[in-house]
Chains A and B, each alone.
Chain A
């Protein structure tokens, strides 16, 4: 007898890679990540090197994605901007995912008064204005990029917790959860093995929707002067600057815009494929 299911992760991976769109999307994401990490090697220019004599030029030899109005190489800036955007996107989403899933699962599973209390706390935090919250954080702890991750994650987990709690509420009355309880499994085991795996679908979809929102949120904070500071940049900042000069220098907007779209599109495809791969019922349709 062939054992393939003692390692469920292996199975998910197999189903994932059978999907061609997933393979392409994952490749795009990997290329974006690696080039962001390897930015100093890939680019002959420094991200903050200005060439005021050159000014804004369209794509040409030497600056093959053009330059911005200070003569800085756009390709280099997109690579460096990707470092910030991807890091914020992934880290803040992971923070949101970790807190949200844990909080929501416990709240929904325990139920009753505990659930009521935990959800009222979420409601209260929802009511807190996000910008004020971030400004307070920055004032108290000083400005640094790690804090940015925490601040965004601390806001994004609220919706995640609500989604997870809703899922848990509908799952915990399923007959197979009753069967698991009558087999004498611990609550921890029931949550980890029987509830969380069965609600991953919506959670993954929501996660892939969170990453783009977090990336845009970062650009908003940077715009307020609370996030990344020039001459460092991020995709969100580049797009904002580009949008201002859209009519005279369209490549300002097109270059980071296309990169961001590509990243978000790839993320959505990967999320979609991952959800399908985790649901064994999709095996038949493959």
Chain B
């Protein structure tokens, strides 16, 4: 076994579409389709893609909140999909999550102290009597007033709540933190503060990240590697620098061109015509070909797989024309 922290192999999550009174599944929505990647300890992998491309279902599948349809997942050496419930429960403290909506992620009936220490108590990591003390330390760690433990979530602003969510997520000292659009719901100045906090924690705790966002700017700033998702599949993966400066997949290029730049000529942008196709009924061949300006005949028939770009195995793209110069 390699020394990766999280290994995902050909993972797929399908949601059955039910119809009729007898709830017969007629077909599937392929939310996550044949996704493979790995995250090394301490590494931050960014996951980008437009809405509805399957980023969140992928995160939920990794967190075992959704049942994987097929594939394999390993956390260190443990097979997540065949682990016993008890094993899984112990494992969960190593893999934590911060969700997008800080207003819905905190139980409104519990105090901040109860919220952020519940995991520690359930996993038997601290004594109940040490609760207040530990809560104060955790609050300090995420930049909140340590005396706020007795307050309730509704007394806090969005940014503060997100800090509380982060405090809860890091309370069990996980090795991997999954941020599912963790800063998207916050306004820009607060976003920057939360990103700085995550960076600080990443260094202090040697956390690995799966950082999901639709904002390439934030992701490139924070992550070592970036994976681009389209219609449930990873279409390009590589180091943040490669993806930002030498994108090989036309979809990645379009995403990058969509970032507004000062003084740029709008006509030079690569625009995407049309909508993201329905995952119920994905197009044959390359799922991106109906929107792709560079599509050739083989794109319409043969689905491309992730292949190294310019012989660089660390930069892979699922495109037949990945090594062509496309303008």
Contacts and interface: CB of A to CB of B under 8 A. Distances in A.
Interface stretch (A41-49, A161-169, A179-187, A265-273): A179-187
Given A182-B95, A189-B122, A280-B152, A5 B107 contact: no
Interface stretch (B35-43, B96-104, B303-311): B96-104
Contacts of B146: 1
A33 to B, nearest CB: 29
A1 B149 CA distance: 9
Given A183-B122, A184-B92, A198 B65 contact: no
B207 to A, nearest CB: 15
Contact of B114 (A5, A176, A181, A184): A5
A185 B90 CA distance: 10
A189 to B, nearest CB: 7
Nearest to B171: A183
Contact of B119 (A5, A8, A178, A183): A183
Contacts of A189: 122
A60 interface: no
Contacts of A280: 108-109, 152, 154
Contacts of A6: 131
B123 interface: yes
Contacts of A3: 132, 150
B172 interface: yes
Contact of B104 (A176, A183, A186, A279): A176
A184 B119 contact: yes
Contact of B109 (A182, A183, A186, A198): A198
A194 B60 contact: no
A182 B106 contact: no
Nearest to B146: A1
Contacts of A20: none
Contact of B99 (A175, A197, A198): A175
Contacts of B152: 280-281, 283
Question: Which among B107, B110, B118, B119 has the greatest number of chain A C-beta atoms within 10 A?
Answer: B107
Contacts of B150: 1-5
A184 B108 contact: no
B218 interface: no
A182 B63 contact: yes
Given A176-B105, A197-B109, A182 B131 contact: no
Contact of A5 (B97, B113, B122): B113
B322 interface: no
Contact of B105 (A8, A175, A181, A198): A175
A175 B122 contact: no
Interface residues of B, number: 42
Contacts of B91: 184
A38 B172 CA distance: 56
Interface string A248-286: 000000000000000000000000000000111101100
A174 interface: yes
A5 B119 CA distance: 17
Contacts, number: 92
Given A1-B147, A183-B122, A178 B60 contact: yes
A193 B38 CA distance: 35
B111 interface: yes
A184 B113 contact: no
A5 B122 CA distance: 18
A176 B172 CA distance: 17
A189 B122 CA distance: 9
B107 A176 contact: yes
A193 B110 CA distance: 9
B99 A184 contact: no
A109 to B, nearest CB: 15
A181 B64 CA distance: 9
Nearest to A197: B109
A184 B132 contact: no
Nearest to A198: B109
B32 interface: no
A175 B97 CA distance: 11
A181 B92 CA distance: 9
Contacts of B108: 198, 279-281
A179 B131 contact: no
Contacts of B95: 182
Contacts of A281: 108, 152, 154
Given A175-B99, A182-B92, A185-B119, 15 more contacts: A5-B111, A176-B107, A179-B97, A179-B105, A179-B106, A182-B96, A182-B97, A184-B88, A184-B93, A184-B123, A197-B107, A198-B108, A278-B109, A279-B108, A281-B152
23 contacts: A1-B132, A1-B146, A3-B132, A6-B131, A176-B104, A176-B106, A178-B65, A179-B99, A179-B168, A182-B63, A184-B90, A184-B93, A185-B119, A185-B122, A193-B107, A197-B107, A198-B108, A278-B109, A279-B108, A280-B108, A280-B109, A281-B108, A283-B152
Interface of B: 60, 63-65, 88-93, 95-97, 99, 101, 104-111, 113-114, 118-119, 122-123, 131-132, 136, 146-147, 149-150, 152, 154-155, 165, 168, 172
Interface of A: 1-6, 8, 174-176, 178-186, 189, 193-194, 197-198, 278-281, 283-284
Nearest first, the 7 closest Cβ-Cβ pairs linking A and B are A184-B92, A5-B111, A175-B104, A184-B89, A280-B152, A183-B119, A175-B105
